[in-house]
Structure 1
Amino acid sequence: MGTRTAAEQRLRDLALLRRVRDRIDREHASPLDVEALAAGVGMSAGHLSRQFKAAYGESPYSYLMTRRVERAMALLRRGDLSVTEVCFAVGSSSLGTFSTRFTELVGLSPSEYRRRARTDRAAELPSCVTKRVTRPIRNREAVPSEPV
């Protein structure tokens, strides 16, 4: 059978990376870490992190936090949970880390986002449109909002 060519190995790695990304999308509220994700596809944590970042432009941890923030945004717009409840519902174990990451991605604190969502007209849009329009910006690109 022989050894794989570089192209075959790259395709195999991309398939494994898609499995990792799909797992993060599916299990974002579960306790996940890079070591567990890597073990699930038979890679070392370092190799997974490097390959994931090369393929998707961010680390597995950053991708996981983005998924959690997206879900948190939806829960905060719904308005029936406190920020703390939302933090734990999306799988974060630290309110401080959650709030910091949320603010980096969205440009507003979770509390401020929730307050604005209550009065914002975007809340009246269909959820599929709201999700698309309010998708968090990755890689700390959010511009802090102007005070109201």
Structure 2
Amino acid sequence: MAHVTSRPAEAQHLRDLALLRRVRDRIDRDYAQPLDVEALARGVNMSAGHLSREFRRAYGEAPYGYLMTRRIERAMTLLRRGDMSVTEVCFAVGCSSLGSFSTRFTELVGVPPSVYRQRAASATAGMPSCVAKQVTRPIRNRETALT
């Protein structure tokens, strides 16, 4: 007996994946802009709930979590450069609350932004920026960064 697949369901799944890639690409490109799940969902004609469920299924985290990871990753780069204050970095990456930014940064990186800046300066000295970015990339639940 042959295995029967649901071609309409497969086709819908592939369409959803293409839309999810568009959402992820928009987050990657526009991370510093005010983005919320409702707006992202409207952009691909999905409900916010459906987008959140399918995005998590495809990428392992909710759209907002992915957005915050991108923002923190960019913040890490700006903090390593050392020419902006933590507050300036917070706003430059699209966060509107220094407290929320610091909390999420600490959650993802393992140390507060100010401590990260101090440690990163010595830990990545002499490293090409492309290597420093890979070595210091935020990983959810990392025990400690740059220790």
Scaled by the length of structure 2, the TM-score of the pair is: 0.92
Which amino acid counterpart does residue 94 of structure 1 have in structure 2? S
| 2:127 aligned residue | 125
| 2:138 aligned residue | 136
Give the Å deviation of 1:77: 0.1
Tell whether 2:105 aligns with 1:102.
yes
Give the Å deviation of 1:88: 0.1
Tell whether 2:44 aligns with 1:27.
no
Matched length = 141
Give the Å deviation of 1:116: 1.1
- Whether the 8 Å CA contact 1:72–1:87 is kept in 2: the answer is yes
- Whether the 8 Å CA contact 1:107–1:144 is kept in 2: the answer is yes
Per-residue CA deviations over 1:7-65 (Å, capped at 9, x if unaligned) read 00000000000000000000000000000000000000000000000000000000000
Question: How high is the sequence identity, in percent, across the aligned residues?
Answer: 73
Structure 2: gaps of 5 or more residues: 1-6
| CA root-mean-square deviation | 1.5
Secondary structure, counterpart of 1:85 in structure 2: helix
Distance in 2 separating the partners of 1:6 and 1:117? 48
Tell whether 2:40 aligns with 1:40.
no
- Whether the 8 Å CA contact 2:109–2:145 is kept in 1: the answer is no
| 2:16 aligned residue | 13
Which amino acid counterpart does residue 103 of structure 2 have in structure 1? T
Equivalent residue runs for 1:11-90 within 5 Å: 11-90=14-93
Scaled by the length of structure 1, the TM-score of the pair is: 0.91
Structure 1: gaps of 5 or more residues: none
Distance in 1 separating the partners of 2:106 and 2:94? 17
Give the Å deviation of 1:123: 3.1
Secondary structure, counterpart of 2:138 in structure 1: coil
After the TM superposition, which parts of structure 1 deviate over 2 Å for at least 4 consecutive aligned residues?
A: none
